[in-house]
Each structure stands twice: as C-alpha cells, then as structure tokens.
Structure 1
Amino acid sequence: MSETFIELPNPGVEGITYYTPKQDPPSGQTLDPQPNVDGQPKALPMLFTPLKMRGLEFHNRIFVAPMCQYSSQDGFITPWHMAHIGGICSRGPGLTFVEATAILPEGRITPQCAGIWDDKHTEAWGKLVEFAHSQNQKVGIQLAHSGRKGSTVAPFLHFGMLATENIGGWPNEVVGPSEEPWDEHHATPKPLTKEGIQRIIKAFVDATKRALEAGFDVIEIHNAHGYLLNSFCSPAVNKRTDEYGGSFENRIRFILEVVDAVRSTIPDDMPLWLRISASDYLEESMPDSPSWRVEDTIKLARILAEHGVDVINISCAGNHRAQRWQPHAWQPVLAGMVREAIQDLKVKGGGKMFVGAAGGICDGHVGEKLLQEQKCDAILAGRQFQKNPGTVWAMAEDLD
C-alpha cells in the first residue's frame, strides 16, 4: 500500500537576517467580510478596517502609544525593550510606537531614558525594527526633547524630583523658552538661545536620519506634555519677547521649523505625525491668563497640514503645574473637537489629515464608538498594552 506525501514548506521572511516563519497575513488583520451565524456576512468594525496614509497601509486602527520605560543606559536600549515592544507589536497593532526618544542627551526626561543622538544607538534600534518587520508589523519612533522637564528621576521613584549630577543628571543644562521651572522640584531652566534653537533643529534632523537608517516606518514629533516644543507654543509658559515669543505666529515658529526640517529629511511617502497637548487645561484655574487651548490646536493643525504633517495625535495638559483636568476622560473629547474642525483638511504632499485619540481606551467598544462617532481616525493605547500585550485580540473579542 503506497502513501502519498505532500510537501509543506515553512518559508522564512525575506530580507531578515535570521530565520523566522512568514506572517502573512499579519496578526491583527481581520477577514472581510466577517462570517455570521446565519451565513450572512456582517459589517467589519471600523476599528479593524485598514487605514491608508501616504505610502503605508495599516491593517487596523488600533495603535500603540509611546510608553517611557526608564530602562536605558546612556540612551542605549536593552533586551528589555525588545521584550517589551516585541511582545506587543507581534500581536497585531496597526502601528506600534517605541517610547519617547531623546534627540540629545540633555533632551532626556531621566538619565535612564532612551536616545537616538549618537550613531551608535542606531544598531540596537535597527534590531528592534527588524524584529517588528519580521512579524509583518509596522513600528514608529517619537522624537523628543524634554526641555524644562528634563533631568528628573524616574517617576516610579518620585514624580518630578531633580536628578543631580551625582546620579547622572544635568540640572545646569536644562533649557526652556523662559526661566520659569515646572515646580520647586525641577531645575530652573536657562532660556534657550537662538543658537540653541538651531542646534536642536539640527539634532532633530540628525535623529531623523538615524531613525531612517534603523528602518522605522513612521516619525512622530513630540509637541506635548510641556516638553520643549510644546512649552514654546504656550503663552502660559513662553515669556519670550523675541521672534519665538509673544504672538501665536511667533510661539509656533520653533515647531514649524522642526516640522519643515524633518519633513524635508524623510521620504515623500513616509507619514509624519505630531503629538500635541490640545489644551493646557488652565481655563478653570487661570481663567484670566493666556494659555494654549483647543482653538489654538485647531488653528495650528490647519497650518501643520500645509507643512506636510499627516496626523495630529491628541493628548492634553503637562505645560503648567496649575492645570485642572480629568485624566484621560477629556482627551478623546478634544480629539473629536479637532477632527470635526479639520475633517476635510488636505495635507500638502499627502491625503487628508488624520486625528489620533488616546486616553482611557481600554476595550473595543470604546474604541469603536469613537470611530463611529467620528471623534478620530485611529485610537492609541499605552498602559492597556502594558497590562495586556494581546489587547488587539481582546478588542476583536469585544466586538465579536
């Protein structure tokens, strides 16, 4: 009696320096149409519909927000970062951001923050990116400078305590738009000189080039939470009297110069994101004082579209210690206000401008509702993925 054997090869992924089975389709991609119990197809949830952006297509709209890990040494990432990001991205998000990554050593928040200010940093980032690509997943990097909130200890030790030089800090090199510190625990910043501004713009360009060499799919500029670029935008913090302070046009000058420098460095088909605190949340605590408000974010978004920014990623607060806000609850509301105002906005060199929403999005029902109500085009979750790396699968189960 003869037996018939069928050859079943297990092909590896092309272009990867080691063998790993080919993931096609990628984890997190949903079948369409969906089967139903009565044999009739059902509509695919918006959360699991693809999103096309310049030369990329994300297979779902569940994205991983940057999560600082405070686990690097001299800016170098370690096997921890591979385990942390690798364990999440391989389980199917449409896009995974690595943590806020400093463009200069003094641009870190803590001495243990990750960096990309040195060519030597590129190799480790490249290995992480290669792993993500080996799983047929996309990964982005958030480029950041901490500004006046730099040189602190990890927040699980103390929320804002100064990191002195004895423990690797740089309290005498902290910079901001003006001299006002965040609070009594933080360093008093030195007002950034015009030469310093140009140095930082160049550092963003150099970091972008390293990110491209490492193979990242998306670049995001960090303009939120009171860090350097965001602090220049806010009249509550920026007290300058030169061309980088005073009027709205002057206060956004720095971020536009960074955006232009980065956009001209990356390929035309690469999406450019920008994270922003849509409001300082000082309306209640400082109602008679100028601050950054959602109306300013909408105004800036329209300008950013002309400068080639594809996504405005909505967060809030972080600029002033007098802020009064409800953690997470209001961020999707702000995102909805922005999206409604710019829903037909076209990006120079790209398509429409997209809006990302984050904050307290812990299950598929919440994420789907935000998309159905047109509050955003994609959702971002951070700590939820830290709690459950399989959040994409959990959201799929939420939506049956």
Structure 2
Amino acid sequence: MQKPLLFTPLKMRGVTAPNRCVVSPMVQFRATDGLVNDFHLVHLGKFALGKFGVVFTENCAVEPRGRVTQGDLGLWDDSQIASHKRLTDFIRGEGVLSATQITHSGRKGSTARTFDKRGQFGPEGAGWKKWEVVGPTDLAAAEGWLKPRALSAAEIEELVQKFAAAAKRADAAGYDVLEVHGAHGYLLAQFLSPISNTRNDRYGGDRAGRMRFPLDVARAVRQAWPENKPLFVRVSAVDGGGGWDVDDTVAFAQELKAIGVDVIDCSSGGIAGAATAAGVKRGLGFQVPFASAVKKQAGISTMAVGLILDGPQAEAILQAGDADLIAIGRQALYEPFWALHAAQALGCDPDFDLWTPEYGWWLEKREHTLGRK
C-alpha cells in the first residue's frame, strides 16, 4: 500500500523529520531558573520514544521578565545551554528532531500556574515572587491582571537582540528546529493586535507598524539561526478579540516567508485573559481552516493544531492539502505513543518496525500469541 502522508518524511532545509507528527509546545511549570531538569527529560523523552517526528519543548523565555510563570524554561543565559543539550542528545538518539520555542510573555507574565487555586502563586513553599511586566502600552491583559509598563523604542530594539541571542543558544544546545512564539496574546501578539497595541510611534498604528517588531524579531532570529535549520513562527490566526483576523495573518505570513521563515504554526486566541481564549467554536480540527488559508493564500508550509485526535483524522488533513505538519498537544499527554498508534491505525506498521526495538520486538511477538498474525 502507499505510505500515508503522515508517515512520509519531510525535508526542511538541512534536516528531515521522519514523519509529520509533531509534539506541540506545552508549558509544564516545572523549571527552576529556566533549566531543563529530570522532569523535562522524562516528559519529552517519552515522546521521542513514541517516535513523533518532531518533539517541541515548552516555550523558553528570552529574558527572566519574559517568563509566563517562574517555572518556565529559559534560554536567556549561556549557563542554561548544557541542561538543554542533555535533552536534545536523547531526542536525537531516538532518531527524531528536537525543537524549541522562544518567547516573551509581555503583559501576560508573572502569573500563577493555570491549575493554581485562588490565592495560590506557584508550588507551595517555593517562594515564587511577582515581577514587573511590560507591553506595547500600559493596558493590562484583563481585569485583575498586572498593569504593564509600556516598552520604549530602545527597549524594543534590545528585545530583538535578546531573541537573536536565544536563537544562538538554541543552536548551541543542539536543537534542530526553532519556533518564535507570536501567538496567544504574548508579547509579539500584543504588538500585532490593535486591541493591545495603541501606540502612535513606528511600532504601532497601521498593520505595517504593528508588524514591525515581530518582523524585526523574525529577521534577527533567522540571521542568528543556522541557514540549514528550519524556522517556524506560531501565530494566533485570529486574536480572540476581533482585532486581528485571518487576512492579517496571511499578510503577516507573506512577510515572514520573505524573511526566510519556513513554517507557520496556526493557533488562535489569547489576546485577553487565558492563553488560548478565543471566540472560535471548538470541535475536531477547529483550527485546521486557519492552517489551510495561510498555506494556500500565503504559499508557505503550515502546521495544523487543535483537537486532532487520531491518525486517520490527521491523514485526512494532509491529504486535503490543508497543512504540512500535524501538531498534537493535549492528546499527546493522554497518549504519549500517539504517533505509533496512528501508524497502526493507518496500517503502515503491522510488524511494529517503527517502535524502538526494545518495545517493538515484544509487541510483534504478542500479535502471534493473540493469533492476530
């Protein structure tokens, strides 16, 4: 039979993903001082054992102030590189690509964890403290959120260089793929949306002005990131408040393509309140139309994400030409071997050859015991 597209390798610049299954960035709140620790090795390592073609870490802040919570990973200092390299060495050893995402939380920083109870701020006894947050203006993300300090033009230029420096550290740590986080109401998205960006200088105003800072970041990161490694940008195709829509995203994607960005990761929402809050009706593959529109109208590769639950659904998205990669988030937490189960469901791995041999050998023998072969 013809190999499913989901399990057809994808060459991106100088690296090749063995399949189109991607673990989406998902914050876990378990870092100290931005360092990768045993939790991250086990958490992300199991997805590598599960043979996702690309395994993303959670977002990594480009400066301490740019963390969402005090438990976020970071790439703001050279001392953090070694801890990341331990992770990338393991992922590479399993034959899949390691990826990371660099970000700045902007006005949505210094928050509690999503599951903290009212009045709780981080793990009990950990001593988490709040810090100053910044944004395009002094407008808070929502009622009850910290009021940010508006960034000066000089500070914006400094942040561009901090993104570039984080990209260099990601390369030194051995990551194969890098993504700039421009979605979910974090700093770059705050500049894109007219809801949060009411500046009247060169970084505000019309769409070109509001795109200036995010495009400067993408340009600087592309220059700092090796030419042979692919660069992704995550976007909120709609901002969740009606200020930024799919047409804006297509225009932004065209500019990113000209800079040398390879893939647009199409999410949505978050301009105010929770990270992905949006007035988008949720259902299976609810964000796929965004990936399809950007791919077809901007002529750039896209990654689809959002309630994609199994292999046949993912394969149908690829076959329809709606995206080039499939990102799996919460379903991967529920089913860490999602990619291998998808291969079984699509009938392209009857002998468990895709599994690590320490697992596959036993599972193939079990099929004989059960009379299935």
Partner of 1:110: 69
Q: 1:383 aligned to 304, 311, 330, which one?
A: 330
Q: Tell me which residue corresponds to 1:168.
A: 128
For the 8 Å contact 1:160–1:186, the answer to whether it is kept is no
Aligned residues of 2:286 and 2:307 also touching (Cα < 8 A): no
1:296 aligns with 2:248: yes
- Could you say which structure has the larger radius of gyration? 1
Over aligned residue pairs, what C-alpha RMSD do you find?
1.7
In 2, Cα distance between equivalents of 1:279 and 1:364: 26
* Contact residue 357 and residue 380 of structure 1 kept, 8 A: yes
How far apart are the structure 2 equivalents of 1:72 and 1:49?
A: 34
With the length of structure 2 as denominator, give the TM-score of the two structures: 0.88
The alignment status of 1:212 with 2:164, answered yes or no, reads no
Q: Which amino acid aligns with 2:309?
A: C
Cα separation, partners in 2 of 1:225 and 1:279, compared to 1, 3 Å: same
CA offsets 1:252-300 (integer angstroms, 9 cap, x no match): 00011111111111221111110000001334xxxxxxx1000000011
Residue type matched to 1:336 in 2? S
Is it true that 1:67 corresponds to 2:26 in the alignment? yes
Q: Which has the higher helix share?
A: 2
Q: Which residue of 2 aligns with 1:318?
A: 270
Partners of 1:169 and 1:252 in 2: how far apart?
A: 32
Counterpart code for 1:305: K
Code of the aligned partner of 1:303 = E
Contact 1:162 1:185 in 2 (8 A): no
Q: Percent of counterpart pairs with the same letter? A: 38
* CA–CA distance in structure 2, aligned partners of residues 161 and 194 of structure 1: 35
Please tell me whether the aligned partners of residues 139 and 148 of structure 2 are also in contact (alpha carbons under 8 angstroms). yes
Residue 158 (structure 1) shift: 4.8
How many Å separate the matches in 1 of 2:119 and 2:257?
34
* Stretches of structure 2 lacking an aligned partner (at least 5 in a row): 348-373
Q: Where does residue 148 of structure 2 map in the other structure?
A: 189
Letter aligned with residue 289 of structure 2 = V
Matches within 5 A, 1:300-379: 300-321=252-273, 323-327=278-282, 329-342=285-298, 345=299, 353-379=300-326
Q: What are the ranges of 5 or more consecutive residues in structure 1 without an aligned counterpart?
A: 1-41, 284-290, 346-352
- Check conservation: 1:68, 1:99, Cα contact below 8 A: yes
TM-score (norm 1): 0.82
Count of aligned pairs between the two proteins = 340
CA distance in 2, matches of 1:316, 1:57: 27
In structure 2, the partner of 1:281 is 240
Post-superposition offset of 1:333: 1.6
1:183 partner letter: A
CA distance in 2, matches of 1:137, 1:47: 14
The alignment partner of 1:210 has SS state of helix
Contact 2:69 2:111 in 1 (8 A): yes
